Amino acid sequence: MSSPQSPAIEMYQKDIEELEKLINIALRPNIKRQLEEYKNNLSNLMKEENKKIEEEKKKKESEKAEEKDSSNKEKENSSSEINPAKLSSSLLFTSISKYAFDTSNEKFIKLYLTDNFEGIKSFNSSNIKSKFTKNSFDICIIGWKNKNYRFSCFNLNKGIIPNDSYVKQTNSGLIVYLKKENNSDYWDSLEKKKGLFGNKDENGEGGLDKNKDPNASLMEMMRDMYQNGDPEMKRMIAEAWTKSRDEQENKFNHEHEHAHGDDDGCGCGHEH
C-alpha cells in the first residue's frame, strides 16, 4: 500500500492533468507551447517536492535507527553494570587484626589502626564506610594503596551508642571512637568473652545474633558506597570487583588443575 501523498504533490498532479487536457484541445501553436512550458515547470516542481519528501523520509529512518542503536547500547550498559549486592560479596578484603586498645577515656573506647595506614588523613573520606550498632561495628576501607580493608567486631564487650560512635582519619592512621553506653562500664577487652553457656548480657539476653549474617553489614555498606558514590568511587569499586573476580577465577582454575594433576608436593591444598 502506497503512502499518502502530500497536498502539494496532489495539487501539481491535478494541475498537470488539467494542462494536458487544455494542450489536447488547443489549436494555436503559441498557446500550446506556453501550456507545455507551464506543464514542464509544474513537473519539475513536483519532482523537487518528491525529492524533499524522500530525503525527509530517509532522515527519519536514519534517526529511528540511531535511536534503536542507542537504546540497545543503553540496555547493554545496564546489563553490564555492577550489582552492588553481588559486588559486596565478591570483593576481596584484608581483615585488620592489629590495633591498639585504649580504655583511658571515660566516655569512649578508642581503637588505633596505625599499621600500614600512615598518611590516610588525606585519603578520600567517602572511601571509608562505617556501621555501628549497639553491640557491633563494621568498617570498610576501599582502595587504600590499591587494597580493600575491613575491621569489624560483632560481639562487643559492652553496649555502645551507635550515633555517637565514629571513625577519625589522622596522619598516623585511623582512630575508631566507640561511645560507651554507660560511662561506668569496664572494658577488659574489645570482644565479649564467651562463657560456659554462650554470651549473655546482664539481662540474660544473648549478645551476637547467630541468625544474622555478618556479611549483611558489609553488603549494605558496599551497596550504599556504590549507589551514592561519585563516578570515581564507582570506577574504583568496579575495578576492585573485576580484579577480585579475575583472581577468584584464576584461583579456581589453579586448584582445578592441581586436583587433576600429578600427586606431587605435600597435597595439603595450601600455597607454599
User: For the chain, which residues make up each domain, given as ranges?
Assistant: 1-54, 89-193+209-246
**Per-residue pLDDT tens for 115-141?**
999 999 999 998 898 999 999 999 999
pTM above 0.85, yes or no: no
Higher pLDDT, 15 or 134: 134
Higher pLDDT, 151 or 68: 151
d(CA 216, CA 134): 16
**Per-residue pLDDT tens for 199-234?**
544 444 444 444 555 556 666 666 666 666 677 766
pLDDT band at 82 (very low <50, low <70, confident <90, very high): very low
Note whether 92 and 148 are within 8 A (CB). Answer: yes
d(CA 96, CA 151): 5
pLDDT of the residue at 270: 44
Domain spanning 89-193+209-246 has what CATH number? 2.60.40.790
pLDDT band at 88 (very low <50, low <70, confident <90, very high): low
How far the first Cα of the chain sits from its last, in Å, is 77
172 Cβ contact partners less than 8 Å away, ≥ 6 residues apart: 114, 117, 118
Could you identify the residue written with the cell 560481639?
A: 155
pLDDT of the residue at 227: 63
Determine the distance from the C-alpha atom of residue 48 to the mean position of all C-alpha atoms in its chain, rounded to a whole number: 52
